[in-house]
Structure 1
Amino acid sequence: MSSNDINKRTAARKPVVLMSMGTQERKGHAYQVMTHKYITPLAELSGCVPLLAPSCCGIDDIDQYLSMVDGVYLTGAGSNIDPALYGQKNKTPSKGQDKARDLFDIPLIRAALKRGLPLFAVCRGMQEINVALGGTIHQKAYEVAGMNDHREDSTDPVAVQYGDSHTVRALPGSWFADLMGEEAFPINSLHGQAVDQLGEGIEALAHAEDGLIEAFHLPGMQQFTLAVQWHPEWQAAQNPHSVKIFKAFGDACRQRATQRDQ
């Protein structure tokens, strides 16, 4: 194969991004699931190929998964992280958990960071990174003094639930503020839990009006790292801030893929 053929093949290759799936029970059967709304912007805006990894099979193959990908994307989910993983008792026993995903994603995060892979996380995924690095979670953020209620109204239509809810303010002068093109912008809000104490190496990038941490990164890591508490994947193509986030992650994964192919 000539060098021109190799260059053409490399140029045509899209970055591959790992997405861990969650557990869901349907009519007595256990399923591994991933919502379309998370996959679509990764493919269409980031320009990446999703690789869906089942979390039900344990962690033995994590290194093999990571050897095949150029980035990791941790999505939201309807379940909460097991509080035992950050040293607390469960204050929301009526809320579903997904311990298989917890036990898969926490070592996945640590291994991905060690490999230098770009890492992007949404909602539950943001909280997973914090727990993986030794941080804690507000199990009932809506009961914390001075905090607003960031939960959606489940009786509203889905479009209303995912509509703009409040404003966040990015850290002035940060790369994230530059990426967004402005320090303050509106976001949706659909979470009862939130980051409390930040894990090792994590730095906040954006806050809600009540001080809740809405975005963070790991400035000590060379690769792209970004976690957000809101849901930029919702109708992402129609939201200029979401487009910028997904394109930035895709660019980071493309850069990683180029390095891997050299």
Structure 2
Amino acid sequence: MTKPPSGVRRPTTQSAKRKPVVLMSMGAQERHGHPYQVMTVKYIRPLIEHAGCVPVLAPTCFGTQDIEQYLSMVDGVYLTGAGTNIDPALYGQPNLTPEKAQDKDRDLFDLPTIRMALAMGLPLLGVCRGMQEMNVAFGGDIHQQLYTIPKLKDHREDPAAPVSEQYAASHKVRLVPGTWFAGLMQQDEIAVNSLHGQCIKTLGHGLQALAHAEDGVIEAIHLPEFAQFTLGVQWHPEWMAAQNPHSIRLFEAFGAACRARQCARWSGSEHVL
């Protein structure tokens, strides 16, 4: 059998069957006086069931010194929503929502993770807070109280409603015509849920909008300067994803990108195919 070129490793039968590995950063939560690092099952489920990937959960409370090692182990990065806001000092604003919890350890972990992952060619998916992190990582900023801005709707859920009602579709988003994302969704308008009190104000460097709510709020973004899959969405596609064809397409596309990255790694080529 002809040997592979120097530096190129052929996948073994075992490695060829391995699923792509995806990094998910956890968030802080206090329970009965004890600090926890947590990740909600609803975010993990579609990564396993529809993207076909294996999650690696990274604690964010021990600093940033191991980010590069984490990223060397994975084939993609998936940044989820959370019950916390990004520290406004990171985008040059005073804190207008002091009553809302923050998670500064996650902020300081995720922002460099985003930049480093993209530089390494890793696919990136951000949901809700994760999308906002993508924006802040590239110099963008946030409307901290979008519900107070004239002509913008209140995009928050009713905290007194059952969870099934909070996550039900509540408005439509218009996808930018002719984009890969509109093609992926197979239509130019889709109905989404809405559970956020903050939104993108100014897009960061290199970011482009892929979808807008009816009031103009940016609902999806990507980084077209990077060859690999990059997507951030403001809604929650992970909720009951198996019952939503748009969510299934989204997670399947992310999984396909992670598999392409995995194949490139095993073949010795680090660029994304």
Q: TM-score, normalised by structure 2?
A: 0.94
CA distance in 2, matches of 1:75, 1:150: 18
1:103 aligns with 2:108: yes
Gaps of 5+ in 2: 4-9, 268-273
Q: Once the two structures are aligned, what percentage of the paired residues are identical? A: 65
Residue 243 of structure 2 corresponds to 238
1:27 aligns with 2:29: no
CA distance in 2, matches of 1:62, 1:199: 22
Alignment of 1:40-189 (within 5 A): 40-189=45-194
Gaps of 5+ in 1: none
Residue 196 of structure 1 corresponds to 201
CA distance in 2, matches of 1:147, 1:241: 25
1:231 deviates by: 0.1
What SS is found at the alignment partner of 1:17?
strand
Letter in 2 for 1:182: Q
1:6 deviates by: 4.1
Give the aligned length.
Answer: 261
What SS is found at the alignment partner of 1:148?
coil
1:11 deviates by: 2.4
Structure 1: which 4+ aligned runs deviate by more than 6 Å? none
1:10 deviates by: 3.0
1:126 deviates by: 0.4
8 A contact 1:10–1:258 mirrored in 2: no
What SS is found at the alignment partner of 2:134?
helix
Q: TM-score, normalised by structure 1?
A: 0.98
CA distance in 1, matches of 2:14, 2:188: 40
1:145 deviates by: 1.6
8 A contact 1:205–1:217 mirrored in 2: yes
The one of 201, 217, 223 aligned to 1:218: 223
C-alpha RMSD of matched pairs (Å): 1.4
CA distance in 1, matches of 2:161, 2:11: 52
Kindly indicate which of the two structures has a greater share of residues assigned to helix: 1
Residue 264 of structure 2 corresponds to 259
Letter in 2 for 1:237: A
8 A contact 2:23–2:56 mirrored in 1: yes
